[in-house]
């Protein structure tokens, strides 16, 4: 399971994924049959308008939610039928999440927000080191309320990567940030992908961000409409929107 394995190793494979939210009167078809692979070490961007099913897809492959039909395999293991216990273990040991609203625990300091995750992981980094990795080595003892949005998101990234996950799933990590701050956050993500080789899925509705991806997957109305291999990967610093 080495992360430096060649890029042709498949981390995830999703087949004919559908997800229907039963709202009583109406049924919302959030995913209508999605096929997708994620290769080790690659960075893909999931691009699509709001409501197109991006979060739903991410949640299913991250083991936060289960599909209505279809199947997902993670490193050759089928997780579609996994029990809650198995999904929890899967999240605990293999996946790191970054959310749009950071979702730090307000009663814990930056360091503690990372430690709360490393304490249950198998082979984690030192939490302080993880924070240094995102450039927050001097803010260890600050509470979320004392940090800016960008700093909070970097803490969230440190928290996600500190467990040394195989995959990093980021749901609109810059969605709540201004441009400059967003760039800093994206740089951190890019560096982690590059230096640690963590396969990364990055959700956004901002087409410009797609320029930093290895592959761009376009999602609209619950279906993948297009997959584009990005020949010319830009660094976040070169992005403009």
Partner 1 sequence: MKTINRKILRNLWGMKGQVIAIALVIASGVATFIMSISTMQSLKLTQATFYKDYCFAEVFASLKRAPESLRLRIQKIPGIDRIETRVFAAVNIDIPGFPDPATGHIISIPDSGEALLNRLYLRQGRLPEPSREDEVVIGEPFAEAHDFKPGDKIGAVINSRRKSLTIVGIALSPEHIYQMPPGAVFPDFERYGVMWMGRAPLGTAYDLDDAFNNITLTTSPGANINDIIDRLDKLLKPYGGLGAYGRRDQLSHRYLSEEFRQLEQMATIFPVIFLGVATFLLSVVIGRLINLQREEVAVLKAFGYRKLDIGLHFVKLVLSIVLAGVILGIAGGFWLGKWMGTIYMEFYRFPFLKYELHPYVAVIAALVSAMAAILGTMHSLRKAALLPPAQAMRPEPPATYRETLPERLGLKRLLSQPTRMIVRHIGRRPVQSLLSVSGIAFACAIMMVGSFQGDAIDYMVDVQFGLSQREDLTVTFVEPTSRKALYNLKSIEGIEHGEVFRTVPVRLRSGHRSYRTAIQGLESGGDLQRLLNAELKTVALPPSGIALTDHLGDMLGVRAGDMLTVEVLEGSRPVFNVLVAALVSQYIGVSAYMDMSALNRLMREGNAISGVYLAADSQYLQEIFKKLKGIPHIAGTEIREKAIKKFYETMGETILIFTFINTFLAGIIAFGVVYNNARIALSERSRELASLRVLGFTRAEISYILLGELGILTLAAVPLGFLIGRGMCDYIAENLKTDLFRVPLILEANTYAFAATVVLVAACVSGLIVRRRLDHLDLIGVLKTKE
Ligand X SMILES: Nc1ncnc2c1ncn2[C@@H]1O[C@H](COP(=O)(O)OP(=O)(O)O)[C@@H](O)[C@H]1O
**Residues near ligand X, by CB under 6 A:** 21, 23, 28, 30, 48, 50-56
By beta-carbon proximity to ligand X, the closer residue of 48 and 127 is 48
CB under 5 to 8 A by kind: which of Mg ion, ligand X, partner 1, none does 218 bind?
none
Minimum distance of ligand X from residue 100's CB (angstroms) = 9
| Residue of the chain from 52, 97, 153, 170 that contacts partner 1 (CB under 8 A) | 97
> Dihedral, CA atoms, 224, 168, 121, 89, nearest 10 degrees?
0
Contact between 55 and Mg ion per CB under 5 A: yes
Interface with Mg ion includes 204 (CB under 5 A)?
A: no
Q: Is the distance from CB of 201 to CB of 46 less than 8 angstroms?
A: yes
- For residue 153, state whether it binds Mg ion (rule: CB under 5 A): no
For the record, the structure tokens of 87 come out as: 């999904």
Note whether 89 binds partner 1 by CB under 8 A.
Answer: yes
Stretch that binds Mg ion, among 39-47, 50-58, 88-96, 189-197 (CB under 5 A): 50-58
* Cβ partners under 8 Å of residue 217, min gap 6: 36, 44, 45, 46, 47, 224, 226, 227
- Residue from 17, 125, 159, 216 that binds partner 1 (CB under 8 A)? 159
Strand pairing class (167-171; 199-204): parallel
CB of 65 to partner 1, least distance (A): 4
**CA dihedral sign of residues 61, 62, 68, 73:** positive
Quick one: angle between helices 149-161 and 110-118, nearest 10?
20
Name the one range near Mg ion by CB under 5 A: 55-63, 81-89, 178-186, 217-225. Answer: 55-63
Q: Which is nearer to Mg ion, 55 or 109 (CB)?
A: 55
Q: Using the rule CB under 8 A, is 110 a contact of partner 1? A: no
Does 56 bind Mg ion (CB under 5 A)? Our answer is no
User: Considering the complex, what minimum distance in angstroms separates the CB of residue 233 from partner 1?
Assistant: 28
Cα dihedral 189/193/196/200 (nearest 10)? 100
The whole-angstrom separation of Cα 46 and Cα 68 is 21
24-52: b or e for each residue (b if 16 or more CB lie within 10 Å)?
A: eeeeebbbeebebbbbbbbbbbbbbeeeb
Cα–Cα nearest to 134, from 184, 169, 73, 179: 184
Q: Does 203 bind partner 1 (CB under 8 A)?
A: no
> Which partner, ligand X, partner 1, Mg ion, none, binds residue 39 by CB below 5 to 8 Å per kind?
none
Binding site for partner 1 (CB under 8 A): 55, 59, 62, 64-65, 84-85, 88-89, 91-93, 96-97, 99, 101, 103-108, 112, 115-117, 119-121, 159, 163
């Amino acid at each position: 399971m080495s992360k430096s394995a060649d890029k042709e190793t498949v981390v995830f494979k999703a087949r004919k994924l559908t997800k229907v939210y039963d709202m009583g009167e109406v049924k919302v078809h959030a995913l209508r049959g999605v096929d997708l692979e994620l290769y080790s070490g690659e960075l893909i961007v999931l691009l699509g308008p709001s409501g197109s099913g991006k979060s739903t897809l991410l949640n299913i492959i991250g083991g936060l939610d289960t599909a209505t039909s279809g199947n997902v395999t993670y490193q050759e293991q089928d997780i579609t039928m996994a029990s809650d216990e198995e999904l929890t273990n899967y999240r605990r040991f293999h996946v790191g999440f970054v959310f749009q609203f950071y979702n730090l625990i307000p009663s814990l300091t930056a360091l503690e927000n990372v430690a709360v995750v490393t304490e249950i992981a198998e082979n984690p980094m030192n939490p302080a080191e993880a924070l240094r990795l995102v450039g927050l080595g001097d803010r260890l003892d600050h509470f979320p309320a004392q940090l800016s949005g960008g700093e909070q998101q970097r803490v969230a990234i440190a928290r996600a990567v500190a467990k040394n996950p195989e995959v990093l799933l980021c749901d609109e990590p810059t969605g709540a940030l201004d441009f400059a701050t967003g760039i800093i956050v994206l740089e951190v993500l890019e560096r982690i992908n590059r230096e640690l080789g963590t396969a990364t899925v990055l959700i956004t509705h901002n087409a410009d961000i797609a320029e930093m991806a290895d592959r761009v997957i376009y999602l609209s109305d619950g279906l993948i409409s297009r997959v584009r291999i990005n020949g010319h990967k830009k660094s976040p610093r070169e992005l403009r929107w």
